[in-house]
Structure 1
């Protein structure tokens, strides 16, 4: 058995420790020590100091893990948001809103009523009837578009609420 000479990290007392030993208790002060081997050197370290450093490392690792989870969740949300966007004729996109969909529906119905009123005001014949028909089509499309966009906006708001709740859960740990 090969003994290595070390000193207690707490009281400085000399120790003779087998080279394969990982832990030792100082016979002079009773401190529990870890035997650390680095390269060709060996030294002792108090176990409570190691425990404190290990706890600090664990805390930092937990923070990093939480930040990594938040970043992954944010990336997923960015991708999910794209699926809710509505594309305009010019290629630009926007996220639907309930208020915007209702406003668009009111405008669609208003335009439809206006076209119907023009058709009703025309003296008899086919052009007036066509205006009335186009007015009803405009109203139908306005209401249908409103219902579709309102449901889409509602689905987006629910998904956003779930995302925000999940984000808060991750932040709390």
Structure 2
């Protein structure tokens, strides 16, 4: 048994032309401007909506979501860098924390080295086990120089890598915002 379909007159949102659709139609194409339309059957009115508008809105939402994802990646990268950066920091005898530098390591280690050489020389003149103390001091100075410069180089390389990743993410965010 076939039932009669109710035919409704709607207006094309693309060109304004009158279209006739029955209640079973969900999508249509305008015969005049060829706009793709969604037919919306509300309880009180039937109207059309351009599918291109829906597509643009969906694309815009996807673009906004991409920007948010990239911003979250940037915040995560910054947090991870701050944690990693703390591992590189050196602490002075008064508790001040600072970024390691090759110059600081060389100066500090050089002072220790001079003191170790002086202690070895004085100990050799006095005799006994004092020259060994100076040699230990020299060894600690050399270790300090190597460790400090290695730490400073590691920090510089890690910071360079972090900044490159950060700049890449910022470029991606800017690109996503433009699209």
Global fold match (TM > 0.5)? yes
Alignment of 1:87-106 (within 5 A): 87-106=91-110
Gaps of 5+ in 2: 173-179
Equivalent residues, number:
168
Alignment of 1:123-162 (within 5 A): 124=126, 130=130, 132-162=131-161
Alignment of 1:52-91 (within 5 A): 52-91=56-95
Given the two structures, how large is their TM-score scaled by the length of structure 2? 0.74
Decide whether aligned partners of structure 1 residues 37 and 133 sit closer, same or farther in structure 2, where only a CA change above 3 A counts. Answer: farther
Partners in 2 of 1:92 and 1:2 — Cα distance? Answer: 82
Gaps of 5+ in 1: none
2:34 corresponds to: 30
Cα deviation, residue 82, structure 1? 1.7
Partners in 2 of 1:37 and 1:72 — Cα distance? Answer: 46
Partners in 2 of 1:144 and 1:43 — Cα distance? Answer: 80
Cα deviation, residue 153, structure 1? 1.9
Cα deviation, residue 90, structure 1? 4.1
Partners in 1 of 2:73 and 2:84 — Cα distance? Answer: 16
1:48 corresponds to: 52
Q: Alpha carbon RMSD of aligned pairs, Å?
A: 2.9
